[in-house]
Amino acid sequence: MSGRRVVITGVASQWGAELARRLERDPSIEYLAGIDDAPPAVELERTDFIEADIRSPLLSRLLPGTGAETIVHCGIRWFPEPGKPSRVLHDVNVIGTLQLLAACERTETLRSLVVRGSAAIYGCEGPAPCFFTEEMARRLPLRTRFQRDASELEAYIDNFARRHAEIVCCILRYQPEIGPGLDSPLVRYLSLPVVPTQLGFDPRLQLVHVEDAAGALEAATRNPARGPVNVAPSGAISLSRILRLARRPFVPIPHPVFGPALERLGRRLGAGPLYGDGVRLLRYGRGVDNGRLRSDIGYEPRFDAVGAVRDFASATGSRRIGPSLHPGDLAGRLAGFGR
């Protein structure tokens, strides 16, 4: 990789900013630009910040001027944020991607396009295969708005890739992230003082550690593979074990009232509603196969599914104040005393 010119859209997002920070350290990248509608929260040294809304046709005039060889699209939003209500999400995700692709058509220097997408395209069903591989997208009905959006924007990118065989289009399908210090609805859910779960369901989950999430994005930018690539840790872990490792007491509630209850509780405790397919994810879970990430992109995740949760638990557990009254500790002290 020599003399690469990289443009990151959605650079104000956590992932875009982190990618820019990592690429800045690499002297072989001669030019780095970031596009977003607000400046990134972190200080970037040599990244050109271009203020533009990804939904505007202005992008088609801006992008060719940068002479970009690689475009990394981090602007897909998974959950509403202050100032970006859920109504806007569809616009940003689908129309934004369309505008970006239109701009890519005019950028003649373009060699590769990397998109940070979502594994929501596989859907969330009880009887789903335990580990989806990349060719199994859209096998199951897409039930939530976010799942349909994920599917729609991938369809546009597929179409673009078919017409431009010379451009490597890589779609990363991310499982939800977890990590100390990460601010996402799922992490806020796991940090509730008492975590509601769905009675009788214990989903298998794969949560990507923030470090692996950023690492995979960087690896894909440097070495993109054609087509979709799942980004997930190896293995899987059930929600009940996550909560036990994180020392969170949980109350099972009947699944039909889980969604509304969480919304109420979440608003009061500042956790916010779960994004996209979160409620279904916490009922049925989802597992994907990360074989392509390891072989084609060449990125080996540092944390497996259990390791990511352990790291999260050890970082959040130290914030606890007062004596630990966890039933597991009590039983352990009784069993271990005088040995």
Partner 1 sequence: MSAQPETESMRPPSAESVADFLRRMRVGIEDGLDPLTAAQRAATELPRTVRRALDRLSRRLQGEYYEDEWGFDEEFAEAVYPLFEFLYDVWWRVEVDDVRNVPSHGRALLVSNHAGSLFPFDASMILGAIMKEHPLPRWARFLVLDWAFVLPFISTFMKRVGGVPASTHNAARLLDQNELVMVFPEGAKGTGKQFSDRYRLQRFGRGGFVEVALRTGAPIVPVAVVGSEEIYPKLADARPLARLIGAPFAPVTPTFPWLGPLGLIPLPSKWRIAFCDPIDLSEHGPDAAADRRLLFDISEQVRETIQARLYESLVKRGSAFM
Contacts with partner 1 by CB under 8 A lie at 126-131, 133, 136, 198-202, 204, 234-238, 241-245, 247, 255, 284, 287, 305, 326-338
Nearest approach, Cβ of 306 to partner 1 (angstroms)?
A: 9
Q: Which two tokens stand for residue 32?
A: 């780095």
Based on CB atoms, which residue is closest to partner 1, 15 or 131? 131
Nearest approach, Cβ of 210 to partner 1 (angstroms)?
A: 21
Based on CB atoms, which residue is closest to partner 1, 124 or 297? 124
Based on CB atoms, which residue is closest to partner 1, 74 or 308? 308
Based on CB atoms, which residue is closest to partner 1, 113 or 208? 208
Contact 207, 261 (CB under 8 A): no
Nearest approach, Cβ of 228 to partner 1 (angstroms)?
A: 16
Nearest approach, Cβ of 295 to partner 1 (angstroms)?
A: 15
Based on CB atoms, which residue is closest to partner 1, 149 or 304? 304
- Dihedral pair phi/psi, residue 277, rounded to 5°: -100, 30
Nearest approach, Cβ of 323 to partner 1 (angstroms)?
A: 9
**Separation between Cα atoms, residue 315 and residue 181, nearest integer Å:** 9
Residues in the chain: 339
Nearest approach, Cβ of 334 to partner 1 (angstroms)?
A: 4
- 169, with CB counted inside 10 A (0-12, 13-18, 19+), is buried
Contact 172, 227 (CB under 8 A): no
Nearest approach, Cβ of 63 to partner 1 (angstroms)?
A: 40
Nearest approach, Cβ of 256 to partner 1 (angstroms)?
A: 10
- How many beta carbons lie within 10 A of that of residue 214, not counting itself? 20
Nearest approach, Cβ of 100 to partner 1 (angstroms)?
A: 33
The full 3-state SS of the chain, as one line of letters, equals CCCEEEEEECCCCHHHHHHHHHHHCCCCEEEEEEEECCCCCCCCCCCEEEECCCCCCCHHHHHHHHCCCEEEECCCCCCCECCECHHHHHHHHHHHHHHHHHHHHHCCCCCEEEEEEEHHHHCCCCCCCCCECHHHCCCCCCCCHHHHHHHHHHHHHHHHHHHCCCCEEEEEEECCEECCCCCCHHHHHHCCCCEEEECCCCCEECCEEHHHHHHHHHHHHHCCCCEEEEECCCCCEEHHHHHHHCCCCEEEECHHHHHHHHHHHHHHHCCCCCCCCHHHHHHHECCECCHHHHHHHCCCCCCCHHHHHHHHHHHHHCCCCCCCCCHHHHHHHHHHCCC
Based on CB atoms, which residue is closest to partner 1, 223 or 234? 234
Based on CB atoms, which residue is closest to partner 1, 50 or 246? 246
Based on CB atoms, which residue is closest to partner 1, 83 or 127? 127
Based on CB atoms, which residue is closest to partner 1, 59 or 236? 236
